């Protein structure tokens, strides 16, 4: 009589945990490759536009096309993520991005490209990324176990900062070899992500059939539900307000650092390294965030970040040493990563799954909507006050924000369990 050599079957809990880990790694790996491809084309597309016409206006138009349409569609993307299967939304987005990338790469290789085609391709790719990112954020709480959620959010945050740090230089490098290469690589990256999504076994979200059959007329009502959930959560509302205001200021700081770098006659490569400092700081911040991952209060993290940001921008304002600027601006990215982990973990834990897409879309719309306005206003303010005074004003205003949030701390209450479940 021979003994069976078959390994013992996994317990149901172990099998489920293994499935979740596998699905998350597939999602994370595919998204990482896709994000690197996207970041590289964000650099290559304006470079190609400039090479075609020699006009900075055309380069700016192509860059804006890659971000503005997607920004405007963040709120509808949240409704779509809550109405449909989120994995299928992500899959369709990546497949369409891959098709656009293939078309653009082939057109560039054949010399048949134009500014109109480049602008349209950038807009379509940006829209696909918008729907993908909102669906992905909404799906993660259904993929990983609750105890692993902070680590999953931190891992995703690290991916975003690493892609920012590596993707842009990669785009410039690929473009230097061949103009079509960044777009071909982006297309391949999108299709790799789609394959990873197809291999996922768990269904991140099964929507209510009644919600799926709703028409366009119900769009406003569904958007209102998501915004109302965001507004009635005092903790989430306070944290998002701080993020939106500081994002506005930080875009002005980017312009400010370029001006300061030029005034100090820094080489262009050093100015680029200076602007990339938040990416490096963000990666480090995601690796070292034990207090945030262990469940530290979102409000406590928000207050702490506001004070640290005010201090760091103040250091940049009074210093003339580019190395101090690098560490100060990198520290902003480090602290911002911790803030994003705390905010996204709270959102994933506290917002009902059927509302998570709309809340995530509204969150991104408000916080990212401040970006173009901050850049635009920053240029005017610097031209009026000068670089140094502008930096001091920004540090002072963030300090005032920190004082206000600290003062309001006793009045900001978490939602009660009754409210949290829609009561």
Of the listed ranges 71-80, 150-159, 282-291, the least confidently predicted one is 282-291
Please count the other Cβ atoms lying within 10 Å of the Cβ belonging to residue 170: 18
Q: Grade residue 58 by pLDDT with cuts at 50, 70 and 90.
A: confident
Q: What is the pLDDT of residues 241-269, one digit of tens each?
A: 999 999 989 888 888 888 888 788 888 67
Class for the domain spanning 16-204: mainly alpha
Q: What is the pLDDT of residues 292-334, one digit of tens each?
A: 555 568 889 999 999 999 999 999 988 888 899 999 999 999 9
Q: Which residue has the tokens 């924000």?
A: 401
Q: What is the pLDDT of residue 208?
A: 56
Q: What percentage of the chain has pLDDT greater than the value 90?
A: 23
Distance in angstroms (rounded) separating the CA atoms of residues 19 and 22: 5
Of the listed ranges 17-26, 207-216, 291-300, 343-352, the least confidently predicted one is 207-216
- Tell me, yes or no, if the two domains 16-204 and 219-423 fold the same way: yes
All residues at 6 or more sequence positions from 105 whose CB lies less than 8 Å from its CB, including other chains: 180, 181, 183, 184, 187
User: Residue 24, class by beta-carbon neighbours within 10 Å (0-12 exposed, 13-18 middle, 19+ buried)?
Assistant: buried
Residue 133 has pLDDT above 80, yes or no: yes
Distance in angstroms (rounded) separating the CA atoms of residues 59 and 50: 5
Up-side HSE of residue 325: CA atoms within 13 Å toward CB? 25
Domain map (residue ranges) of the chain: 16-204, 219-423
- Rounded to the nearest integer, the mean pLDDT of the chain is 82
Of 1.20.1250.20, 1.10.10.10, 3.40.50.300, 2.40.40.20, the CATH number of 219-423 is 1.20.1250.20
Q: Grade residue 11 by pLDDT with cuts at 50, 70 and 90.
A: very low
Q: Which residue has the higher pLDDT, 96 or 352?
A: 96
Q: What is the pLDDT of residues 376-420, one digit of tens each?
A: 787 788 888 888 898 999 999 999 999 999 998 887 776 654 444
DSSP state of 8: P
Q: What is the pLDDT of residue 193?
A: 93
């Amino acid at each position: 009589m021979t003994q069976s050599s078959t390994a013992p079957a996994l317990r149901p809990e172990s099998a489920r945990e293994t499935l979740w880990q596998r699905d998350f790694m597939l999602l994370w790996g595919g998204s990482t490759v896709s994000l690197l491809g996207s970041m590289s084309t964000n650099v290559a597309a304006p470079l190609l536009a400039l090479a075609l016409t020699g006009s900075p206006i055309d380069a700016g138009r192509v860059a804006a096309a890659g971000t503005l349409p997607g920004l405007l569609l963040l709120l509808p993307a949240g409704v779509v993520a809550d109405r449909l299967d989120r994995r299928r939304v992500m899959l369709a987005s990546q497949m369409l991005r891959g098709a656009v990338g293939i078309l653009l790469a082939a057109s560039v290789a054949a010399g048949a490209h134009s500014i109109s085609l480049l602008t349209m391709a950038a807009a379509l790719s940006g829209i696909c990324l918008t729907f993908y990112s909102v669906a992905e954020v909404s799906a993660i709480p259904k993929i990983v176990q609750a105890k692993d959620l902070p680590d999953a959010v931190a891992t995703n945050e690290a991916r975003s900062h690493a892609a920012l740090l590596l993707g842009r230089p990669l785009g410039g490098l690929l473009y230097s070899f061949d103009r079509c290469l960044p777009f071909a690589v982006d297309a391949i990256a999108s299709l790799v992500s789609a394959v990873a999504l197809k291999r996922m076994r768990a269904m991140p979200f099964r929507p209510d059939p009644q919600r799926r059959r709703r028409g366009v007329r119900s769009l406003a009502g569904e958007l209102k539900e998501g915004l109302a959930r965001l507004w009635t959560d005092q903790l989430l509302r306070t944290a998002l307000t701080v993020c939106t205001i500081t994002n506005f200021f930080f875009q002005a700081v980017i312009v400010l650092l370029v001006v300061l770098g030029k005034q100090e006659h820094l080489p262009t490569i050093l100015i680029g390294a200076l602007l990339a400092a938040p990416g490096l700081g963000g990666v480090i911040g995601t690796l070292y965030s034990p207090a945030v991952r262990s469940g530290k209060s979102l409000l406590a993290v928000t207050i702490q970040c506001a004070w640290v940001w005010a201090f760091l921008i103040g250091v940049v304002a009074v210093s003339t040493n580019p190395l101090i600027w690098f560490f100060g601006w990198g520290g902003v990215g480090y602290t911002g990563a911790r803030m994003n982990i705390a905010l996204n973990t709270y959102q994933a834990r506290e917002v009902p799954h059927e509302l998570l897409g709309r809340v995530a879309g509204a969150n991104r719309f408000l916080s990212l909507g401040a970006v173009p306005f901050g850049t635009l206003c920053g240029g005017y303010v610097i031209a009026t006050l000068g670089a140094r005074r502008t930096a001091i004003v920004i540090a002072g205003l963030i300090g005032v924000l920190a004082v206000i949030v600290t003062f309001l701390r006793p009045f900001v209450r978490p939602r009660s369990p009754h409210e949290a479940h829609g009561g």
